[in-house]
Amino acid sequence: MSGRAGLSAAIGLCAAASLANALAAVPRYAAETCSRVALVDTATGDAIRGAEDLTVDSGHDRLIVSAHDRRAVAKAVSARAGDVPQGGIYAVSFSDIRDRLGKVAAAPLVDPASVPGGLRPHGVAYIPQTDEIAFVNRAYQKIDGRWRLTPKIVRVGVGDGAAGGEQKPTHCAANDLIADEAGLLVSFDHGDCGGWRRSLEEALALRRSGVSDENGAPLFDGAAYANGLLQLVDGSIAVAATREKALLILDRSGAAAPGRRIALPGGPDNLTPSNDEVVAAVHPSTLRLAAALRLGLGKAPSRAVKIDPATGDVRVLFDDPTGRLFSGASVAVERDGVLILGSAIDEGLLVCHGAAQQET
């Protein structure tokens, strides 16, 4: 065996051992500390399903929620319905979540009528420097009797009320976004927009997705289903490579940083910060996730982990292998000993309290 092959094998064994240890450990948030919290749209009174991404607005002590019912949208598009259901960008008070209420008010921050093509938000980011919210929006237009998806990046000032704000085209497979000093960075989960190339990319888990700037110029295109993004404290960029079950670390230029690929116990989805670490919702079974999301069959397992990007250490925060408590968690936020999970599939949020909160 060559020296390089031996080193690769050793790294692989270490990563496998680290993941085994992480899964063997007791999750920080036990199932009995968790309960579902319904989100109620204050404008319509409707319960909210599909809270697929969350971001924190610390200045206003609130959670920003990106939600839309993907299954309902897919059915309407397939049936060429007259309208496609919309979702929303909502604000939820952290104090309401901490008070362990069975349901909490979710106040709309963007008027769906102000967004051409309809409001169906995907990845969302709060930009504290400008007090803005930016999100990837899945707009639809009816062309020749068929609904066509046209992703857009939307930026709206929190002080603008319910205005639609600035909107611009983006990559056909835009997924998540973050703000850095130069502007917005956007992940795209497929390299191709359709046809046999996209099908081949999916079938073989080809590494053609990645990260672009807000104008569409690619910075990195070597991931298999690039998903959530997060800027780390050192300025580097963490990318969730869902099909690789790994967290990739890129330097400021978008180049993959040597040796900074962290194996995870599931395919990572959205990423959120926790001090110097990363909290990720990971999908233990992407097949069960696809069955639940695309076909409405069964429930998908949920898992959340915390990653130290400096050491590669991975710890399990929450684990629901059957999806009994919460199906297909796509994002997790940890704040003051409380873990909050959202899902593209399920209703509301799942809120779990750590030991410190149970004692108070």
Three-class secondary structure of residue 71 per DSSP? helix
Q: Under the phi-then-psi rule, with left for phi > 0, alpha for psi from -120 to 50, and beta for the rest, what region is 99?
A: alpha
For residue 119, the domain's CATH number is 2.120.10.30
Closest CA to 278 of 319, 325, 234: 234
Mean pLDDT, rounded, for 207-225: 93
**For residues 256 and 239, what is the distance between their CA atoms, to the nearest angstrom?**
10
pLDDT in tens, 126-174: 999 999 999 999 999 999 999 999 999 999 988 655 555 689 999 999 9
Tell me: pLDDT of 110 over 60.
yes
- The arrangement of strands across the sheet holding 209-213 comes to 174-180, 183-188, 209-213, 218-223
What's the burial of 13, exposed, middle or buried (CB within 10 Å: 0-12/13-18/19+)?
exposed
Tell me: pLDDT of 12 over 60.
no
What's the burial of 232, exposed, middle or buried (CB within 10 Å: 0-12/13-18/19+)?
middle
- Is residue 64, in this structure, part of any structural domain at all? yes
**For residues 216 and 284, what is the distance between their CA atoms, to the nearest angstrom?**
31
Mean pLDDT, rounded, for 342-354: 97
Parallel, antiparallel or unpaired: strands 34-41 and 103-108? parallel
Q: What percentage of residues in the chain have a pLDDT greater than 70? A: 89
Tell me: pLDDT of 8 over 90.
no
**For residues 305 and 315, what is the distance between their CA atoms, to the nearest angstrom?**
5
Closest CA to 280 of 331, 223, 229, 244: 331
> For the chain, what is the mean pLDDT?
90
Contacts of 30 (CB under 8 A, 6+ apart): 352
- Is residue 23, in this structure, part of any structural domain at all? no
**For residues 301 and 324, what is the distance between their CA atoms, to the nearest angstrom?**
8
Angle at 328 between CA 248 and CA 282, to 5 degrees: 20
Least confident of 46-55, 113-122, 156-165, 226-235: 156-165
What is the pLDDT, as a whole number, of residue 257? 65
pLDDT in tens, 54-101: 999 999 999 999 999 999 999 999 999 999 999 999 999 999 998 878
Q: Are the beta carbons of 223 and 244 closer than 8 angstroms? A: yes
Contacts of 88 (CB under 8 A, 6+ apart): 41, 48, 65, 67, 68, 106, 108, 109, 110, 112, 119, 121
- Is residue 18, in this structure, part of any structural domain at all? no
- Is residue 22, in this structure, part of any structural domain at all? no
What is the pLDDT, as a whole number, of residue 161? 52
Q: What would the DSSP string read from start to end of 198-233? A: HHHHHHHT-S-EEEEETTS-EEEEEESSEEEEEE-T
User: What's this model's pTM, rounded to 2 decimal places?
Assistant: 0.91
What is the pLDDT, as a whole number, of residue 11? 45
Helices (H) and strands (E) in the chain, counts: 6, 24
Q: Are the beta carbons of 218 and 248 closer than 8 angstroms? A: no
- Is residue 272, in this structure, part of any structural domain at all? yes
What is the pLDDT, as a whole number, of residue 359? 36
What is the pLDDT, as a whole number, of residue 25? 75
Residue 249, domain extent: 36-359
Least confident of 48-52, 163-167, 291-295: 163-167
Tell me: pLDDT of 122 over 60.
yes
- For residue 287, give both structure tokens: 């097949």
What's the burial of 76, exposed, middle or buried (CB within 10 Å: 0-12/13-18/19+)?
middle
Closest CA to 104 of 315, 358, 353, 347: 347
- Is residue 25, in this structure, part of any structural domain at all? no
Mean pLDDT, rounded, for 263-281: 98
- For residue 198, give both structure tokens: 């996209």
Residue 94 host element (H or E): helix 94-98
Q: How many domains does the chain have?
A: 1
- Is residue 65, in this structure, part of any structural domain at all? yes
- Is residue 5, in this structure, part of any structural domain at all? no
